């Protein structure tokens, strides 16, 4: 039952990853196209009733069947949510005369969206891998299937974007997507890289609260988002130096942008890049080793909680409690 519980939790995270990736990447629902259902990558799986998939699997064949069915449902559900969300939020404008590509580097929000794409690709691959491993899929198969799913998940966004005048197929977004997916894969093949985590923090901006710009929503509230790379310094220090660095303190480097939507008028403007350094808290170092609690701590460790931060650009500024 413990493994079933963990599996259910992993499935919930997987479904949540679909929603979070849609928010990170960012108009009535239509019938779901069949091509969106072809990316789960596990349609042909069969469970041998006389043997488990691998020797490390502690589930019974019946449990394996149930968990794999749940994983498949979560993956398909993620695609369904994705299509419904973007159909309403994005794909309701003017259609382009033909499919077209676009290089959208360095816009008013200074590539903040690209960090969202990177984080989305990383989390889709990471959580997909965790869900497949809970379903007793072999390590290498889980790595490559989850990466393939993440790639297909994000690719279909760009394919639909390429059909609308306002967006276009962004190869810049694809570069960011692939970077995030690749980093998740590298962490599985080289576990030492897990000392670096892509993390995220958010606070609602004045422009968002004002409501003056009707198109502004949390996924586009880039000035309230900060994307971090958080390092477990204690883990990388030599043994002799470990006593001098608290294990629960991480060192993080982050990227954000100043107001790209004027809070007084609601009009867009060119923001300035914010490069941040911070010492933040690692929830994974909280006490307690119960399996579910460890999973919760690990999940929380991908969020950057309020902490002191040094803003390097556009001006040098120390924030005692940066959100």
Tally Cβ neighbours within 10 Å of residue 18.
Answer: 25
pLDDT of residue 87: 81
Q: Across the 323 residues of the chain, what is the mean pLDDT of every consecutive 10-residue run?
A: 42 46 45 34 36 66 89 87 81 90 95 97 96 93 96 94 94 98 98 98 97 93 98 97 97 98 97 98 96 96 98 97 94
The whole-angstrom distance between residue 123's C-alpha and the CA centroid of its chain comes to 4
What is the Cα–Cα distance from 61 to 52, expressed in whole angstroms?
6
pLDDT of residue 25: 56
pLDDT of residue 41: 34
pTM above 0.75, yes or no: yes
pLDDT of residue 31: 36
pLDDT of residue 46: 39
What is the Cα–Cα distance from 97 to 194, expressed in whole angstroms?
45
SS3 252: strand
Cis amide bond preceding 314, omega within 30: yes
pLDDT of residue 148: 97
């Amino acid at each position: 039952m413990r493994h079933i519980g963990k599996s259910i939790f992993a499935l919930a995270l997987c479904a949540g990853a679909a929603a979070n990736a849609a928010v990170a990447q960012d108009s009535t629902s239509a019938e779901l196209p069949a091509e969106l259902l072809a990316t789960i990558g596990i349609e042909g799986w069969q469970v041998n009733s006389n043997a488990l998939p691998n020797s490390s699997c502690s589930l019974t064949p019946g449990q394996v069947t149930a968990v794999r069915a749940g994983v498949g449902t979560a993956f398909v559900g993620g695609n369904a949510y994705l299509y419904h969300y973007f159909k309403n939020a994005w794909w309701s404008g003017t259609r382009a005369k033909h499919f077209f590509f676009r290089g959208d580097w360095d816009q008013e929000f200074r590539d903040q969206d690209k960090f969202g794409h990177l984080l989305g690709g990383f989390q889709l691959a990471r959580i997909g891998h965790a869900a497949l491993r809970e379903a007793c899929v072999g390590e290498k198969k889980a790595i490559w299937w989850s990466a393939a799913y993440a790639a297909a998940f994000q690719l279909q966004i760009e394919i639909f974007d390429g059909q609308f005048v306002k967006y276009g197929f962004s190869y810049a977004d694809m570069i960011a997507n692939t970077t995030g997916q690749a980093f998740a894969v590298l962490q599985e093949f080289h576990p030492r890289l897990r000392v670096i985590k892509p993390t995220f923090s958010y606070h609602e901006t004045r422009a968002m609260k004002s409501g003056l710009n009707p198109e502004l929503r949390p996924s586009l509230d880039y000035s309230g988002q900060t994307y971090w790379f958080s390092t477990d310094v204690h883990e990388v220090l030599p043994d002799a130096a470990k006593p001098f660095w608290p294990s629960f303190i991480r060192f993080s480097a982050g990227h954000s942008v100043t107001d790209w939507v004027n809070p007084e008028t609601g009009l867009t403007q060119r923001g300035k890049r914010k490069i941040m350094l911070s010492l933040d808290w690692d929830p994974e170092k909280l006490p307690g080793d119960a399996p579910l609690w460890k999973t919760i701590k690990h999940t929380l460790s991908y969020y950057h909680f309020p902490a002191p931060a040094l803003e390097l650009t556009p001006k040098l500024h120390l924030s005692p409690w940066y959100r």
